[in-house]
């Protein structure tokens, strides 16, 4: 059985993946953070709810976990790989980096 793969990608590397159907963006921030601003079409599952809601992530996609600065999303990646995902992507620097490099209009709480 192949070892699960953790991809640590920059906003520039993640951006083209958002257009592909085999990836699912999962925002693991708290509700107030998500409501302040988030990426379009992202699935909102706060990190604390991930163990109970992991099955909501389509099994035939690679999850791209995002948070504010990258720590919670890295923990989500580690959980996903332990839970059986073959691959997981962490947005390095989180949405703060995304706002700085890709979309300055994004509100990041």
Residue 1 has a pLDDT of: 64
Q: pLDDT tens per residue, the chain (109 residues)?
A: 678 999 999 999 999 999 899 999 999 999 999 999 999 999 999 999 999 999 999 999 999 999 999 999 999 999 999 999 999 999 999 999 999 999 999 999 8
Q: What angle do CA 108, 54, 109 make, to 5 degrees?
A: 10
Residue 6 has a pLDDT of: 97
Residue written as token pair 């592909």: 20
List of domains in the chain = 5-101 (3.40.250.10)
Torsion, Cα 79 4 9 11, to 10 degrees, reads: -60
The predicted model scores a pTM of 0.96
Whether 51 contacts 45, CB under 8 Å = no
Residue 106 has a pLDDT of: 95
Residue 109 has a pLDDT of: 85
Q: Phi/psi of residue 37, each to 5°?
A: 170, 140
Residue 23 has a pLDDT of: 97
């Amino acid at each position: 059985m192949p070892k699960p793969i953790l991809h640590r990608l920059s906003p520039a590397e993640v951006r083209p993946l958002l257009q592909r159907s085999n990836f699912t963006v999962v925002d693991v921030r708290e509700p107030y953070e998500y409501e302040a601003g988030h990426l379009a079409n992202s699935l909102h599952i706060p990190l604390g709810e991930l163990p109970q809601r992991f099955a909501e992530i389509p099994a035939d996609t690679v999850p791209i976990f995002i948070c504010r600065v990258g720590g919670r999303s890295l923990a989500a990646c580690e959980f996903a790989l332990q839970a059986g995902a073959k691959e997981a992507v962490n947005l390095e620097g989180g949405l703060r980096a995304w706002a700085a490099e890709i979309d300055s209009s994004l509100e990041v709480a």
